[in-house]
Amino acid sequence: MSRVNPSTALAEAVSWYSSLLLALMLVLSCCESGEGGEFSTVEMEKMFVERPWPCDEIYVVKEGETLHTISEKCGDPYIVEENPHIHDPDDVFPGLVIKITPFKNRGELDLQVLIVETGDLFGYIGTQGSPLHHHHHHRRDHHRENNEILSDHPLKPTKLFVFGDSYADTGNIRKSLGNSWKEPYGSTFPGKPAGRFSDGRVLTDYLAKFLGLKSPLAYTWMKLGGKKLRNGLNFAYGGSGVFNTYGSLLPNMSTQIDFFDKLMNESVYTKWDLQSSVVLVCLAGNDYGAYVSNGGTAQGLQNFIPLVINQLGLNLKRIHGLGATKVAVTSLEPLGCLPRMTETSSFQQCNASQNLAVGYHNLLLQQTVAKLNNDTKSSTFFILDLYNSFTTVLQQKGDYQGNLRFETPLKPCCMGINSAYSCGSVDNKGVKLYTVCNDPKSAFFWDGSHPTEAGWRAVYTTLKSSLEQVFKFY
């Protein structure tokens, strides 16, 4: 197969996603959307009914279908190779979105080549068993060269600094604003509500564990920190985004960086501290939720996604300017698979059209990270692929080692007694208006948006081998 120029391939893919999103928005403008402005899978499927090919290029798996039957039906024998998010050919589910390239169009852009090429360029952190790490044996030398470039700091990092939202927050959000300070949050760890949006540990905790560090203290509590400040500091606030999401109640990511910049000016931390540390930047989609809540239209989403990515890029550039040499930024998780989106299907099916929009976000993120690394002539920035890691765990209904099993992976452990309530809701007499599963370890999701501690552990397991390639200090 001929080698595709990474920049050209990525530009074509972004253009392809943009065009597809535009078509989606045009359809949505003519159709009644679901509750809260959600896209429906049925509407997405209607987009392509006039296609002359036997299958849509963006194909939504239907009930009872397997990759084998789809391959025969659509005339595409390379479905697995073209879809890096599929790791077990026997485990597909209704609503899964896959790319189809009929054999007669084999000369068109190959998405697998795109991801392999751009993955090398971006320092893209894939998942255990991902096609990024299998097949393509003829490219091993290129992978080895890239990993050596990424590992230009072989010593263990001394600190972890964190910016972002509820996927990383370990206690910053005000008690009056977050359910994370209410029971039953924190029931697994530390045994009581402590500000984490889960029953226990979150992404920050697992990344710190990998780096051999204690989880950094939440910025809100730094005055009580003392020696704990030597582990770094967590500036992430649940519910925040790159823009204001709840007015001035929550500091957006730029403000979070302001907090850190102020500490550096006060010599609480030095540039050397940042140069010898890792920075985690987490963005889980609150900007898009706020966009819809504030009256944003489906048609305008195509233009809003690049604005979010552009601001995120400015934030990353600023963090690098402060002295950061290793910055992990998360890709957007499959929003269409969050329980608040799958509830309408009784937690059986992901919202395929929402995941399509997520794909556009993630492609633009890849492009931005590539440009930043090119402009800085470094490998400072790399992507933690939450999209593929979430998808892998949900498809396999557990971690790849078989230590964790999630029989109904789309159903949350903790949920309101009806749609008017959520996990942690109580009435004015303190009576619980939610239910909790018997064993949080049996559920991937804790509430409508966040994984359980077991869910995060499964995600971490899928990322660990790739993290080890980036941080070769063992």
- 213-262 per-position pLDDT tens digit: 999 999 999 988 888 899 999 999 999 999 999 888 999 999 999 999 99
Q: What is the CATH number of the domain that holds 24?
A: 3.10.350.10
Identify the weakest region by mean pLDDT among 129-138, 206-215, 276-285, 312-321.
129-138
Q: Do residue 234 and residue 356 come from a single domain?
A: yes
Name residue, tokens 């697995």: 80
Q: Do residue 170 and residue 58 come from a single domain?
A: no
CA–CA dist 196, 185 (Å, integer): 7
CA–CA dist 269, 272 (Å, integer): 8
What is the average pLDDT value for the chain, to the nearest integer? 81
What is the per-residue pLDDT across 384-396, written as a single tens digit (0 to 9) for each?
Answer: 999 999 999 999 9
Does any domain span residue 411? no
CA–CA dist 282, 170 (Å, integer): 13
pLDDT at 14: 57
What is the per-residue pLDDT across 423-455, written as a single tens digit (0 to 9) for each?
Answer: 999 999 999 999 999 999 999 999 999 999 999
Q: Do residue 257 and residue 367 come from a single domain?
A: yes
Does any domain span residue 142? no
Q: Do residue 68 and residue 175 come from a single domain?
A: no
Q: Which of 387, 329, 383, 385 is nearest to 358 (CA)?
A: 387
Q: Could you give the count of Cα atoms lying within 13 Å of 451 in the half-sphere of its Cβ?
A: 31
128: buried, middle or exposed (CB in 10 Å: 19+, 13-18, 0-12)? middle
Q: What are phi and psi of 242, to 5 degrees?
A: -75, -25
pLDDT at 51: 38
CB 292 within 8 A of CB 344: no
pLDDT at 106: 40
Confidence of residue 142 (pLDDT cuts 50, 70, 90): very low
The answer, yes or no, to whether residue 144 has pLDDT greater than 70, is no
Confidence of residue 68 (pLDDT cuts 50, 70, 90): confident
Q: Which of 78, 106, 124 is the endpoint of a domain?
A: 124
pLDDT at 100: 79
**Which tokens is 187 given?**
């029931």
Between CA 39 and CA 31, with CA 347 as vertex, the angle to 5 degrees is: 20
Q: Do residue 117 and residue 173 come from a single domain?
A: no
Does any domain span residue 150? no
CB 443 within 8 A of CB 437: yes
Task: Indicate if the alpha-carbon torsion angle 412, 416, 419, 425 is positive or negative.
Answer: negative
Q: Do residue 39 and residue 91 come from a single domain?
A: yes
pLDDT at 138: 39
Q: Helix axis angle, 111-122 relative to 352-375, nearest 10°?
A: 40
Q: Can you list the pairs that 136-145 forms with residues at least 24 positions away whose Cβ atoms lie under 8 Å?
A: none
Is the pLDDT higher at 271 or at 472? 271
Identify the weakest region by mean pLDDT among 13-22, 68-77, 210-219.
13-22
Q: pTM of this prediction?
A: 0.73
Q: What is the CATH number of the domain that holds 242?
A: 3.40.50.1110
pLDDT at 280: 98
Does any domain span residue 262? yes
pLDDT at 125: 52
pLDDT at 28: 44
What is the per-residue pLDDT across 53-67, written as a single tens digit (0 to 9) for each?
Answer: 567 777 778 878 887
Does any domain span residue 433? no
Q: What does each C-alpha distance from 408 to 86, 185, 339, 443 come to in angstroms? A: 18, 21, 11, 7
Q: Which of 124, 146, 171 is the endpoint of a domain?
A: 124
- Mapping DSSP onto H, E and C, the string for the chain reads CCCCCHHHHHHHHHHHHHHHHHHHHHHHHHCCCCHHHCCCHHHHHHCCCCCCCCCCCEEECCCCCCHHHHHHHHCCCCHHHHCCCCCCCCCCCCCCEEECCCHHHCCCCCHHHHHHHHHHHHCEECCCCCCCCCCCHHHHHHHHHHHHHHCCCCCCCCCEEEECCCCCCCCCCCCCCCHHHCCCCCCCCCCCCCCCCCCCCCHHHHHHHHHCCCCCEEHHHHHHCHHHHHHEEECCCCCCCCCCCECECCCCHHHHHHHHHHHHHCCCCCHHHHHCCEEEECCCCHHHHHHHHCCCCHHHHHHHHHHHHHHHHHHHHHHHHCCCCCEEEECCCCHHHCHHHHHHHCCCCCCHHHHHHHHHHHHHHHHHHHHHHHHCCCCCEEEECHHHHHHHHHHHCECCCCCCECCCCCCCCEEECCCCCCCCCECCCCCECEEECCCHHHCCECCCCCECHHHHHHHHHHHHHHHHHHCCCC
Q: Which of 77, 97, 124 is the endpoint of a domain?
A: 124
Does any domain span residue 445? no
Q: Do residue 110 and residue 215 come from a single domain?
A: no
pLDDT at 84: 62
CB 449 within 8 A of CB 166: yes
pLDDT at 19: 55
Identify the weakest region by mean pLDDT among 15-19, 181-185, 197-201.
15-19
Q: Do residue 258 and residue 375 come from a single domain?
A: yes
Confidence of residue 8 (pLDDT cuts 50, 70, 90): low
Instruction: Measure CA 31 to chain center.
Output: 29
The answer, yes or no, to whether residue 288 has pLDDT greater than 60, is yes
CA–CA dist 14, 333 (Å, integer): 18
CA–CA dist 59, 83 (Å, integer): 11
What is the per-residue pLDDT across 83-140, written as a single tens digit (0 to 9) for each?
Answer: 766 756 666 777 677 777 764 444 333 333 222 222 333 344 544 333 333 333 333 3
Q: Do residue 207 and residue 80 come from a single domain?
A: no
Q: Do residue 220 and residue 282 come from a single domain?
A: yes
Residues marked active site are found at: 166, 447, 450
Q: How many domains does the chain have?
A: 2
Does any domain span residue 137? no
Confidence of residue 29 (pLDDT cuts 50, 70, 90): very low
Range of the domain at 213: 160-405+452-470
Name residue, tokens 């109640």: 249
Q: Do residue 104 and residue 180 come from a single domain?
A: no
Q: What does each C-alpha distance from 270 to 218, 254, 265, 266, 323 come to in angstroms? A: 19, 19, 8, 9, 9
CB 198 within 8 A of CB 182: no
Q: Do residue 48 and residue 116 come from a single domain?
A: yes
Does any domain span residue 1? no
